[in-house]
Amino acid sequence: MHITIIGAAGMIGRKLAERIARTGKIGERPVNRLTLVDVVEPEAATDFAGERTALSADLSEPGTAERLIAERPDVIVHLAAVVSGEAEADFDKGYRVNLDGTRALFDAIRTDESYAPRVVYASSLAVFGAPFPPRIGDDFHLTPLTSYGTQKAMGELLLDDYTRRGFFDGVGIRFPTICIRPGKPNKAASSFFSGILREPLNGQEAVLPVDDDVRHWFASARAAVGFIEHAATMDTNRLGTRRNMTMPGVSATVADQIEALRDVAGDHAVNLIRREPDPAVARIVAGWPRDFDTTRAHDMGFRAETSFRQIIEVYLEDEMDGRRPDIANHKT
């Protein structure tokens, strides 16, 4: 099987590539060829035993999509995106990358009449907009309140329509906010959700820009990779024409996050969180959904953590080699 990952230099793309390189499979299906694509050349999966190609390419540039599908990969994982805060700040860039790039890919596949791959499309909870019911199901209307959410909603509609027309076999997965993201903060408005845990776990100060009662929907990076693996290999007949689903996760407040951090790392870690209200971030986050009914995705075989403590434990296992943080003696 040939897998192409677009957006492979990002955190999820890199982890997916590394999982494939380590196991030689995606899900239970063997992979003998792996193509990694991003605007900067990806470095992940250098130890892959099969044929590995890494490319620097901008999907929104004319001709790029056609070049990427020329070798007819069996599965295309489309993760490339300008994230929420940046898409809101730079209107033109958000639409060029998130909408124009997506349509360029879909149309390149469409014009090859004898080619119909599995396409896994990374969507977002931002496709939904307030006012919300207490729990949001997959049938709730798409009324995004940000440019990023609008771009992702358009991508979802294209995925459904192109799949309905038989151009490809699409699966759209709405990721929860991935927490705890390793590495440095990105430009997403949700970045602080990871920062208030990641930095204290590493003995560093973190800034909290919103109130403790802000509630959101979370899953780990490990769960995110699992979502993609399952979407790439599942039987899609049961999905019918409704190809986009919200992934399972944990609904938690900032206060819940902080208490889970206290359970794992103690008061010393919690004391490293500094509250600095940011009205711009608070305004964006206020329009986001908070809790979901993911029965459909669960019935289709998608799985995630069931508590925020589990999400922190996954981070310790995957990013800190299972070490318990010694915050009290950590030098900042």
DSSP strand pairing (250-253 vs 215-219): antiparallel
Which pair of structure tokens corresponds to residue 254?
A: 């900032």
Q: Is the pLDDT confidence value at 331 over 50?
A: no
| Domains located in the chain, CATH noted | 2-175+221-246 (3.40.50.720), 191-217+249-291+306-329 (3.90.25.10)
Of all residues in the chain, what percent carry a pLDDT higher than 90?
84
The DSSP H or E segment spanning 257 is helix 254-265
DSSP strand pairing (75-78 vs 29-30): unpaired
Q: Report pLDDT for 332.
A: 42
Closest Cα partner for 148 from 285, 290, 324?
A: 285
Q: Is 115 marked active-site?
A: no
The whole-chain average pLDDT of the chain stands at: 94
pLDDT digits (tens, 9 = 90+) for 115-166: 999 999 999 998 998 899 989 998 899 999 889 999 999 999 999 999 999 9
First-to-last alpha carbon distance for the chain, in angstroms, is 47
Catalytic residue among 95, 115, 121, 148: 148
Q: Report pLDDT for 183.
A: 83
Distances (CA, A) of 29 to 17, 129, 229: 14, 37, 10
- The span from the CA of 57 to the CA of 63, in Å, is 10
DSSP strand pairing (2-6 vs 75-78): parallel
pLDDT digits (tens, 9 = 90+) for 176-189: 999 999 987 777 77
